[in-house]
Amino acid sequence: MDTLKVMDHGDIFELSFDDLKKFHGTKSICGLTVSFKVMQAAWEALAAGAPIPRAELSVATAFPGPGARDGFEMVMRAVTREKYWIETNVTPSDQIAEAAKGAYFFRITGYKRIVALGLKPDMVPSEFVPLRRRHLAGTLDDDEQARFRRLQFTFSEALLAVTPSEAVNLLSIDDAPNAGNTV
């Protein structure tokens, strides 16, 4: 599945990673790539890759990065629809990679189900989080800044090269509260 399919007011949109990149740019390419890979895994778990009605989609995450936020906004319109939340009570584990801020944990709702996902810890290059924290603190020299920028693209390319199941742990899938109710 190279695209994510969403249904919006009867129209089906197929969005590729390049579409997300056109929306966000490359400043936070890693977070953007993580959001794309996580959504691919969620679409497989929730709808076997079929279009999901945008109005049903929401995301809660322990990763507040701007690239990920923009990825979820482009595909789900989650920020605009106020269906995007940051969780602060999730800690990294053997199933959820540590991020420079928070953890790479995601809870996506769609098709009256909730899927919890974690980016696999071995997907994050070992020097990425320490360099990202120093980048955020403004303490990288020019050479380190250039190395960090190259590392961002290496991380992104590595994620794009693998399947969603190779990059993302499916932690749980449950019925959403009120799944039988129609409003």
Q: What is the extent of the structural domain holding 126?
A: 3-175
The structural domain count of the chain equals 1
Q: Does a structural domain hold residue 53?
A: yes
Say what the pLDDT of residue 181 is: 44
pLDDT in tens, the chain (183 residues): 699 999 999 999 999 999 999 999 999 999 999 999 999 999 999 998 789 999 999 999 999 999 999 999 999 999 999 999 999 999 999 999 999 999 999 999 998 899 999 999 999 999 999 999 999 999 999 999 999 999 999 999 999 999 999 999 999 999 988 654 443
Distance CA 16, CA 13 (A): 10
Whole-angstrom distance, CA of residue 109 vs CA of residue 18: 24
180 in any annotated domain: no
CATH assignment of the domain containing 69: 3.30.1330.130
| In-domain check, residue 57 | yes
Amino acid at 11: D
Tokens linked to 43: 């679409």
**Domain for residue 182, yes or no?**
no
